């Protein structure tokens, strides 16, 4: 049996190497359009930034190494131009020689990936993208040239006593994962970097109050962030925004997002999904039973609804490539739905997410509970503790975890991974209390941040407390509901939620006559507010605790 795989990297090469491990006799041909069949996509921004100094570190396998170890026929610079489903052949063009030929198959695996979206605006041809090794080389060379030129200009300016700023500038269109990673790496290389994002926030996988923490960290490290605007034209050394503003731009990068490369599949008459990706079943089989598809070009199944989702991440691509090989080899397997778990780091800060955001859950009409906490990554008494902000989105009717987000220092990724695992295992929000997680003071706390999310969820489920969200407080205060800051007077003096009066939690019992029948309480992160709420509730007040406290409200 002969399997032809169109596209390498994560999905394609996972399929090829797994199939060889399962079937020593299979004929396996990989056709890759670019010059590199196996490279570390996620490492590309870090080569541009100089964190990864050796280009060869990005190149995981070569056609020669794959032939030697796996007996796979890998052909780079080979573009598949069409599929003849009846004849079961593909037309191939060798991009080096121009020679065209046909290749037969018994099974065909499509792994074309996704292409960066480049907006059709004047001058956009000057914008660079970052998808493959060729893009990386072009961007790295451009950065090197800009820095060399700036150094020459600096020396000239010093001689001529010209004080003009020679620092090169970069404008990144898009504030997603790649945009944030490039902003860090270009800033570290010495470029003045600006992110321009059309939405009202960067980092779409996060809710706005969590994304604000990422933006604040970027700004603190010298990155300019402009939201609610887009680049409308690219000039020689500037860009113009939809607001009319002009920005200096020695380098322009399009990191707006990606779109599945489905031209080959569509031309062959394969069915596409409602999101534009290639539609596949639980075995990654397309509408043609001899053709499979994996990776960023493919529609996935959402873990929470079973609906269609586009999740351009390396993890699902690798898993589904392996799964296709199993199916071709006759093994009884099927694809699991996806949560979209992802993480990004910039300037020492980690931001991660899994599942749905609050805004997505509300858009889907789900009745939800939202929990914000601000724990340390390990025991506070042990040196080096770093803070984090966690958010849990919970189905109010079933207690199911719908999603989680985290922003902060060390340990954020660990907590998001634990919650993603809990979601995969069907563990409810309240059951997070019973997870037995490793503890020593330098690694965690006796009550891990994940356990603490469970405690809050349990209290909400059981009606022991009622919370209110940061964006709901102003409306309630406007209606005349009393707002009490239960922190110390010194904390209150440094800043409080608009409209709050100060009654410290330890003074509440002695000052009950100052407390209205309907009241909202808040502290710094929610714990003292919870204590105050329990006290006041047992004295006959209707009380709500500001979820996540002042820190969530202020986005700090």
Domains defined for the chain, CATH in brackets: 2-40+56-114+259-328 (3.50.50.60), 124-256 (3.50.50.60), 348-461 (3.50.50.60), 467-554 (3.40.250.10)
Query: Which candidate, 514, 341, 517, places its Cα nearest to that of 419?
Result: 341
Whole-angstrom distance, CA of residue 170 vs CA of residue 168? 7
Would you put residue 318 in left (φ > 0), alpha (ψ -120 to 50) or beta?
Answer: alpha
Give the model's pLDDT for residue 39.
87
Query: Which candidate, 111, 182, 138, places its Cα nearest to that of 325?
Result: 111
Q: DSSP alpha helices (H): ranges in 161-262?
A: 177-189, 208-220
Query: Which candidate, 234, 261, 262, 258, places its Cα nearest to that of 248?
Result: 234
Two structure tokens written together for 480: 């005349």
Give the model's pLDDT for residue 298.
96
Give the model's pLDDT for residue 60.
86
Residues near 155 by beta carbon (within 8 Å), at least 6 away in sequence: none
Q: Which residue of the set 21, 35, 42, 380 is catalytic?
A: 42
Q: Is the four-CA dihedral 322, 324, 330, 333 of positive or negative sign?
A: positive
Whole-angstrom distance, CA of residue 501 vs CA of residue 515? 10
- Provide the β-strand partners of residue 167: none
Whole-angstrom distance, CA of residue 56 vs CA of residue 65? 14
Give the model's pLDDT for residue 165.
75
Cα–Cα–Cα angle for 146, 148, 149, rounded to 5 degrees? 65
Our answer to whether residue 523 is catalytic in this structure is no
Let me know: does 195 contact 184? Beta carbons within 8 Å: no
Whole-angstrom distance, CA of residue 283 vs CA of residue 260? 19
Q: Is the four-CA dihedral 208, 213, 216, 217 of positive or negative sign?
A: negative
* CA distances (Å), origin 467, targets 348, 362, 518, 542: 32, 17, 13, 11
Does the pTM exceed 0.95?
Answer: no
Give the model's pLDDT for residue 162.
62
Q: Radius of gyration (Cα) for the chain, nearest Å?
A: 27
Give the model's pLDDT for residue 501.
98
Two structure tokens written together for 385: 């503790």
DSSP strand pairing (2-6 vs 107-110) = parallel
3-state secondary structure of 71: coil
Give the model's pLDDT for residue 157.
73
Q: How far apart are the first and last CA of the chain?
A: 59
Q: DSSP alpha helices (H): ranges in 38-97?
A: 44-48, 63-70
Let me know: does 522 contact 484? Beta carbons within 8 Å: yes
Query: Which candidate, 274, 282, 340, 341, places its Cα nearest to that of 308?
Result: 274
**Mean pLDDT, 10 residues at a time, over the chain (556 residues)?**
94 96 97 91 92 90 93 96 98 97 98 94 96 94 94 78 79 97 96 97 96 98 98 96 96 95 96 94 97 96 92 92 96 94 96 97 96 96 95 98 97 98 97 96 95 97 96 97 98 97 98 97 97 97 98 94
Exposure pattern of 445-458 as b/e (b: 16+ CB <10 Å)? Answer: beebbbbbbbbbbb
């Amino acid at each position: 049996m002969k399997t032809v795989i169109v596209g390498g990297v994560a999905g394609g090469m996972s399929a090829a190497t797994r199939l060889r491990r399962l079937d020593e006799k299979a004929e396996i041909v990989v056709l890759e359009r670019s010059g590199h069949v196996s490279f570390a996509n996620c490492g590309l921004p870090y080569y541009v930034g100089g964190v990864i100094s050796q280009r060869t570190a990005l190149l995981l396998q070569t056609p020669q190494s794959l032939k030697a170890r796996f007996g796979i026929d890998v052909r780079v610079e080979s573009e598949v131009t069409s599929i003849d489903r009846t004849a079961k052949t593909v037309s191939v063009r060798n991009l080096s020689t121009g020679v065209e030929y046909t290749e037969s198959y018994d099974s065909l695996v499509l792994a074309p990936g996704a292409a960066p979206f480049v907006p059709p605006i004047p001058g956009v041809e000057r914008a660079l993208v970052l998808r493959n090794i060729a893009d990386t080389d072009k961007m790295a060379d451009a950065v090197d040239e800009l820095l060399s030129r700036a150094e020459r200009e600096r020396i000239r300016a010093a001689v001529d006593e010209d004080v003009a700023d020679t620092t090169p500038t970069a404008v990144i269109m898009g504030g997603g994962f790649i945009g944030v990673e490039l902003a860090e790496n270009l800033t570290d290389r010495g470029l003045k970097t600006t992110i321009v994002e059309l939405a009202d926030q960067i980092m779409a996988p996060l809710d706005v109050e969590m994304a604000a923490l990422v933006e604040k960290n970027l700004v603190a490290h010298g990155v300019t962030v402009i939201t609610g605007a887009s680049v409308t034209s690219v000039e020689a050394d500037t860009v113009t925004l939809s607001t009319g503003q002009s920005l200096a731009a020695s380098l322009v990068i399009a990191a707006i997002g990606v779109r599945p490369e489905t031209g080959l599949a569509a031309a062959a008459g394969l069915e596409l999904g409602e999101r534009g990706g290639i539609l596949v079943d639980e075995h990654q089989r397309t509408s043609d039973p001899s053709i499979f598809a994996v990776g960023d070009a493919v529609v996935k199944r959402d873990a929470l609804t079973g609906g269609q989702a586009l999740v351009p991440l390396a993890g699902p691509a690798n898993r589904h490539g392996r799964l296709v090989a199993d199916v071709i080899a006759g093994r009884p397997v099927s694809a699991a739905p996806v949560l979209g778990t992802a993480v990004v780091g910039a300037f020492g800060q980690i931001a991660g997410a899994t599942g749905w955001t609050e805004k997505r859950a509300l858009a889907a009409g789900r009745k939800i509970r939202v929990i914000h906490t601000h724990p340390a990554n390990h025991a506070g008494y042990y040196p080096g503790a770093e803070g984090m902000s966690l958010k849990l989105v919970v189905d109010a009717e079933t207690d199911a975890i719908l999603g989680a987000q985290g922003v902060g220092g060390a340990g954020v990724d660990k907590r998001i991974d634990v919650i993603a695992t809990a979601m995969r295992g069907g563990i409810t929000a309240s059951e997070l209390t019973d997870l037995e997680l490793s503890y020593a003071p330098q690694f965690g706390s006796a009550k891990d941040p994940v356990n603490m999310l469970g405690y809050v969820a349990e209290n909400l489920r059981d009606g022991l407390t009622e919370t209110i969200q940061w964006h709901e407080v102003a409306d309630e205060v406007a209606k005349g509901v009393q707002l009490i800051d239960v922190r110390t007077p010194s904390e209150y003096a440094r800043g409080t939620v608009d409209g709050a009066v100060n009654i410290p939690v330890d003074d509440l019992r002695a000052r009950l006559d100052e407390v209205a029948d309907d009241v909202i309480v808040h502290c710094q992160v929610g714990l003292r507010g919870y204590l105050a709420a329990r006290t006041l509730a047992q004295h006959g007040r209707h009380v709500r605790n500001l979820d996540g406290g002042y820190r969530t409200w202020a986005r700090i």
